[in-house]
Amino acid sequence: MEEKAAGIISWIFHPLLMPTYALLLVFSNDNFFVLLLPQKLKLILTAIIFTNTLLLPLIFIWMMKRRGIIQSYHMPERADRTFPFLVTGLFYMATWYMINNLNLPGVYSMFLLGGTILIVICLVINLFWKISIHTAGTGGLTGGFIALNYLMVVNSPLVILMLIFISGLVGFARLKSDTHNPSQVYAGFVVGAIVMAGISLLL
C-alpha cells in the first residue's frame, strides 16, 4: 500500500510538472503583476509552459525509450538520465527565451531560468552521483517562493508551508520506492532550493 502511494505521489509531483505548478501558484496571488494580465494571456502562458516543459519532453523521452536509448521511463540508472536531462534542459531554455521576450514581469520567467540552470547542475552531478530530481524540483519551488516572500514580491507563507510538506511527501515517496537513498533525496532538495532562491534574489 505504501509503495503504491509512493508511486502516485511521485507522478503527481513529477519534476516536469514543477514549472506549471509554479505558474499556477504565482497566479494564485492577487499582486499587481497577476492582476494586470488578461485571462486569455494567463491561459496562453499556462498552455505554453505545460506543453513545452511537460508534453514535449515526455514525447521525446517516449521516443528515446522506443529507440532503446533509455531502458526505462523510471530511469533508475544514471546512464539513462543523460539524454532526457539534455532534451528537457533545451526545452526549458527555449521556453524561458519565449516568455522572457514577452516583456512580462521577471517572476514569470524566473522559475524557467532557474529550472534550466538546475537541470544543468543536476546533469553534471548525475555524471558522478545519482541525485533526486523529484526533490530538486520541489526544493526549487520551495526555495523560489521563500525568496519571493523575502523580496516581498508575493506574500504566501501558507504556500511555503504547503511546499515544505509536499517536499517531505516526495522525499518519503522516493525513499519508499527504493529509487534513492536519504543523502540523494536531501541533496536534491537542498540543491534545488539554493539554485532557485539564488536566481530569484539575483533577478
Q: What is the pLDDT of residues 31-49, one digit of tens each?
A: 877 888 899 999 999 999 9
Given this model, what pLDDT does residue 66 score? 86
Own/partner pairs for 151-154, CB < 8 Å, 24+ apart?
151/200, 151/201, 153/31, 153/107, 154/26, 154/29, 154/31, 154/107
C-alpha cell at 93: 531554455
- The burial of 95, by beta-carbon neighbours within 10 Å (0-12 exposed, 13-18 middle, 19 or more buried), is given as buried
pLDDT digits (tens, 9 = 90+) for 51-104: 999 999 999 999 888 888 888 777 777 777 888 899 999 999 999 999 988 888
C-alpha cell at 112: 524557467
The percent of residues above 90 in pLDDT, for the chain, comes to: 61
Given this model, what pLDDT does residue 30 score? 81
* Cα distance from N-terminal residue to C-terminal residue, the chain: 44
For the chain, the C-alpha Rg in angstroms (whole number) is: 16
Over 90: is that where the pLDDT of 50 sits? yes
pLDDT digits (tens, 9 = 90+) for 139-165: 999 999 999 999 888 888 899 999 999
The 3-state secondary structure of the chain reads: CHHHHHHHHHHHCCHHHHHHHHHHHHHCCCCHHHHCCCHHHHHHHHHHHHHHHHHHHHHHHHHHHHCCCCCCCCCCCHHHHHHHHHHHHHHHHHHHHHHHCCCCCCHHHHHHHHHHHHHHHHHHHHCCCCCCHHHHHHHHHHHHHHHHHHCCCCCCHHHHHHHHHHHHHHHHHHHHCCCCCHHHHHHHHHHHHHHHHHHHHHC
